[in-house]
Structure 1
C-alpha cells in the first residue's frame, strides 16, 4: 500500500504590468495555468493567490499584494511561487533582498534553488536593459526620419501616438462595468473582466443555474482570482460584478 505524498503548501503570486497585459487579462490566466500545472506536478498545495497590476520596477515589498503574500508566507513558513521569475522581479538587488526574507519558487523551473534564481534574475535584468535600449534607439531613429520629412515615418509616429491614447482609454474602460439601470459604474478587476466572454458564452449555451455556471467555469479551467474552484456563492458575486443574468 503506497503512502500518500504530503503536499507542500505554497502562496501564489501573479503580476501584470500596466498596459496590454492588464487590458487583455490573458497574462493573468496564463500565469495561473503555469502555477497550477507546476503545483500538480510538484505536489504543491496553493493556499492563496495574490494578484495585482503594478510595474515590475517597483520593489516587491512595496507592492500591496506582494506584501500580503510575503506576510502569509512568513507566518506559515512556506514559499512564494510565481509563474516566471520576471513576475517577481528583474532587478537583482530586489531579488537578493527578497530571498533573504522568504523562499521563492518559479513554476517554469520548479527545482531551481535561490542561487540559481539569483543567476536567472541577473540575466532577466540584463535582458530588460537591452530591450529598453533597443526600443529607445528605434523610436529615436523613427522620430529623426519623421523630422526629416519621411512620409512613412511620420505616419508611424502618428499611429503610435494614436495607439497610446487608445491604450489609455482601453485601460480606463476595462476597469469599469456599466450598470444597465444607469447607476454609477462598477469597478472590476482585470481577472473578472477577462472572464466576461466565457461567462456570456456559457449563458448563451443555455446554462441556467449558479451551480451549472460554476461547473462550466471549473471544467473549462477558469479559476477564481485566488486560484480556487467556483461555487454558487462566488459565481453569484461574479455575475453581479459583470452585471449579467441568466437568459430567460
Structure 2
C-alpha cells in the first residue's frame, strides 16, 4: 500500500510506443494501480519522449527536482523506463531522490546492494594499488608517514568540508527552485511575500520542511534562483 507524495515519470519512444505495449496510457494505469489504496498524493506527472540509451533527459531532471522540492518519491511503471545501465542508476541515487518501479518494487533496495558491492570492489582495488605503490616507494628509500600532530588543522579541514557540502546542497535546491520562482514571477507576482505565499499554496516545503516566508525567499534569490 503506497503512502506519501509521489512524482510520476513516464518515458515513451514514439516509434515503439504502440507495438511494445509500454505506451503512455499503460504506464499511467500501472502507476495508478500501484498507488491505489493508500494515503498517497500524486503531486505531478512528467512525460518525456526520449531514447532509453541516453542519459541527458531534461524531463527526468525536472522530475528529480520536483521530488527534492516536495520531498516526494519518483514512481515509474517499469524499471527500463528509467535506465538500462548501472551508472545512470548510481547518478539517480546521488541525486538524493527515492524511487520505486511498479513492476519491481524491490529494485530500490536491490540497486543499493549492487552499487555497494561495486563500490566495495573498487575500494579493494584502490587499496591494493595504494599498498603496492607505498611498498615500491619504501623500497626506494622514501620516508613514509605524515604529520600526525597537527590535529587542529585536520579539524579545520573537516569543518570546511562540511560547510562546502551544506553550501552545495543549498545551491542545488536554489537551482531546483529557479524555474518554479520564474514561473511565479511570469504570472505577475514579484514581491517576496507574494512568492512565499505561492510556494506555500503549491505545497512546496522549505529545505527544513516548513512554510515559506519573505526572508527565506530572499535568501534563495540571493543564491541565484
**Normalised-by-shorter TM-score class:** 0.3 to 0.5
Mark the structure with the bigger radius of gyration.
2
TM-score with structure 2 setting the length: 0.45
TM-score with structure 1 setting the length: 0.41
